[in-house]
Amino acid sequence: MTLKTVETKDAPAAIGPYSQAVINSGLVYCSGQIPIHPATGELVEGSIEDQTHRVMLNLQAVLQAAGSGWSGVIRTTIYLQNLENFAKVNEVYAGYLSKPYPARATVQVAKLPRGVGVEIDAIACQL
């Protein structure tokens, strides 16, 4: 088994001992992204929609660096600090994907890194 790590400056640098993504046998395992702007390292303030857009852009950058994209995504997990934001996050999320949609789980969690409202991870195929 050969693992290849993915690193791009177009997404936030890892804030711990993990990779932005790992590729194994043509599958891309993306770490969870939170709404940090990669150029500044600052959290995106504002609405849950603003945060979700930044998360999706961060994931998109990692996917592209790994030789994939939204059409290669087969599974995501959305972590919400407040499940009442489900519809708002879902609306933004849907704007980045098209049919056939990936499999997905959405869960409410007690807390997310740096107190953000949303985190999303993904598994994709290389294209």
Is the confidence at residue 51, as pLDDT, over 90? yes
Q: Which of 5, 7, 11, 10 is nearest to 23 (CA)?
A: 5
Q: E strand or H helix at 53, and its extent?
A: helix 48-65
Is the confidence at residue 1, as pLDDT, over 80? no
- pLDDT tens for 22-46 read 999 999 999 999 999 999 999 998 9
Query: Residue 90 belongs to a domain with what CATH number?
Result: 3.30.1330.40
Query: 112 or 14: whose pLDDT is higher?
Result: 112
Q: Which of 15, 30, 32, 16 is nearest to 107 (CA)?
A: 32
**Structure confidence at residue 45 (pLDDT):** 85
Which residues form the domain of 47?
4-125
- What pTM was computed for the model? 0.95
Distances (CA, A) of 102 to 6, 70, 97, 109, 125: 21, 9, 8, 21, 11
* Mean pLDDT along residues 68-74: 97
Structural domain total, the chain: 1
